[in-house]
Chain A
């Protein structure tokens, strides 16, 4: 939250591995709170994940070029709308990076 969001060069300088422990968590939290998101998914082989000391955060993968978020969506609204909302929700955290949203599964209802 305190880091300067829209400065990707500086971001890359601080290093995404060491200083970025809060960022993926914040992204995951925001993605999870979007309407139409049932939860986060690890992707087909659990590859969409952030490896943190003592923890593995499934569903969010961050590097200095792109942010990848894998979600399980609900059928209550069209999937592109859900994906757009997720993208908008994390846009200030992502800065200039692309936010790729992948929908790995759907569940009925909310």
Chain B
């Protein structure tokens, strides 16, 4: 009993040490760590670049989990721009980075192929722009966007637009636009 407990605790200890910091000393020469000083790239920068690279791939409809997207559209309504780094979380070390992406695929795309393309583009973007080695890109497809949803929303929108126009709500029509990927 105590054995298993101690085993478990050591295992837990090991498990805790396994995802160790993604920086290591004496690695290959990097553009970022020089003998004249280091270059630090903030997490937000890597997240922005990853987000832009992921959105470039056709078949990616939106980024972010349900809550993030709901919050994003709320922010859109109050006039704050939807964040580029929505749906991206990163871990950045001195030389390496790991990236997690949440995205919404368009219906009719082969999801493994889409994920592969996104992964490739993100790795290319980060390695070229940031000079960081990308250890992993984990992609989670949160939702599939169906074309019917657009149509339904559009009919709903025109209805709302009409009512909004009668009330003279000019900003309403602007804010109802779906936060689409560029």
Interface residues of A (CB under 8 A from B): 44, 66-67, 73, 75, 78-80, 83-84, 87, 91, 98-106
Contacts and interface: CB of A to CB of B under 8 A. Distances in A.
B36 A91 contact: yes
A80 B37 contact: no
A98 B36 contact: yes
Interface in B103-156: 128-131
Contacts of A91: 36
Interface centre among B36, B37, B38, B131 (most CB of A within 10 A): B37
A72 to B, nearest CB: 9
B57 interface: no
Contacts of A101: 37-40
B123 to A, nearest CB: 14
B36 A105 contact: no
Interface residues of B, number: 18
B48 A106 contact: yes
Per CB-CB distance, the 5 closest pairs between chain A and chain B, nearest first, are A80-B31, A80-B131, A98-B37, A102-B40, A83-B39
Nearest to A108: B52
Contacts of A79: 39, 41, 45, 129-131
B32 interface: yes
A104 B43 CA distance: 8
B37 A87 contact: yes
B77 interface: no
Nearest to A77: B129
Contacts of A102: 39-42
B40 A103 contact: yes
Interface centre among B31, B36, B44, B130 (most CB of A within 10 A): B36
B157 interface: no
Nearest to A104: B42
A87 to B, nearest CB: 6
Interface centre among B32, B34, B42 (most CB of A within 10 A): B42
A91 B36 CA distance: 9
B49 interface: yes
A87 B36 contact: yes
B131 A78 contact: yes
Nearest to B31: A80
A103 B37 contact: no
A2 B129 CA distance: 37
B158 to A, nearest CB: 33
